[in-house]
Amino acid sequence: MSEAASKASTEQIGALMRRATYGSLAVALILVAVKLAAWFATGSVSLLSSLIDSLLDGVAAAVNLLAVRQALAPPDREHRFGHGKAEPLASLGQSAFIAGSAVLLLVQAMAHLLNPVPVEHVVAGLAVMGFAIVVTFLLLGYQRFVVRRTGSVLIGADAFHYRADLVLNLAVIVSLLLTVWLGSPYIDPVFGGLIAFWIIYGAWGVAMGAITQLMDHELPDEERARIRAIALSHAEVRAVHDLKTRAAGPNSFIQVHLEMDGAMALADAHRIADEVEKLILEAYPRAEIIIHQDPEGVEEPRAAYPAR
């Protein structure tokens, strides 16, 4: 999670994520309309691959709207840790949509390899793909901004999908041009098949990012080092151990043990813990923090897993 993302307020995060999902849905619907018309005109398999991808973009964007609304909902009686995992769950669903589009595309490409079909009205197809590239590029610029500000795994997955779309759209243009120049009906389905494997690769990456959060993976080492340094910056903290972290959507969860002078009063230890918590919250305002106070040098029970 970037420093800008960690400092953004919950209201800012929510507004940015909602606008990003609205933009994604709008772009998907526009591209579905123009690509559908172009596919009817050309019959191109590679253009069909792009149409299928945009259809799934629209479905994924609709799911993302619901997921963002759920992820930003405050904790309730049944979900005391909030609803942040709605984000990686939706991302996992996105990976399934992406993989499904690749399977459909492979089937269509194989059919056209066995029974070649000539590509027609290439100019119309090229114009549509050029328009798609421009619109996708503009959306990606905004999505990158939102990911930097929010650290959202869901918007990041959507952005990766649209980056794959850029490659896909460029491949369609190359396919159409080569089909015209070389006059071979096999180029188009071959490109369609190659694009399908690219989509599968993207689906795998999206799925792994979602599983990382669902499995309560630790925050990156640089973030853990930053949290440790913040805690140790307090003059009365002697050492830090048993730091545990995880993320759920836009929220972070941090647990840490602070070692302090064993002779100090409980009230002083509590004050120090509150001061350290405030310092960490300044860097991670959307974090839930649990701090345990330990007297320096006293042995205590340790968990069975390796400490970090």
CA atoms of 10 and 221, how far apart (whole Å): 24
In whole angstroms, what is the distance from residue 259 CA to residue 236 CA? Answer: 9
pTM higher than 0.95, yes or no?
A: no
172 within 8 A of 164, measured Cβ to Cβ: no
Interatomic CA distance for residues 152 and 1, integer angstroms = 9
Give the model confidence (pLDDT) of 198-229 as tens digits.
778 777 877 887 788 788 788 889 999 999 99
Residue 230: predicted pLDDT: 96
Instruction: Convert the pLDDT of each residue in 226-239 to its tens digit.
Output: 999 999 999 999 99
The H or E element that residue 199 is part of is helix 187-214
pLDDT at residue 165, rounded to an integer: 76
Q: Which domains does the chain have, with CATH numbers?
A: 3-214 (1.20.1510.10), 221-295 (3.30.70.1350)
Average pLDDT, the chain: 80
List all residues 6 or more positions away from 88 whose beta carbon is below 8 Å from its beta carbon: 153, 154, 209, 210, 211, 212, 213, 214, 248, 249
Instruction: Sort strands 287-295 and 251-260 into parallel, antiparallel or unpaired.
Output: parallel
pLDDT in tens, 9-19: 567 777 888 88
Burial grade of 72 (CB within 10 A; 0-12, 13-18, 19 or more): buried
For a pLDDT cut of 70, what percent of the chain falls above it? 88
3-state secondary structure of 6: helix
Instruction: Give the residue-averaged pLDDT of 162-179.
Output: 77
Q: Which residue did the predictor score with more confidence, 272 or 91? A: 272
pLDDT score, position 94: 73
> What's the pLDDT at 2?
47
Look at residue 118 and tell me whether its pLDDT is greater than 60.
Answer: yes
What number is the average pLDDT over the span 194-201?
79
**E strands within 33-82?**
none
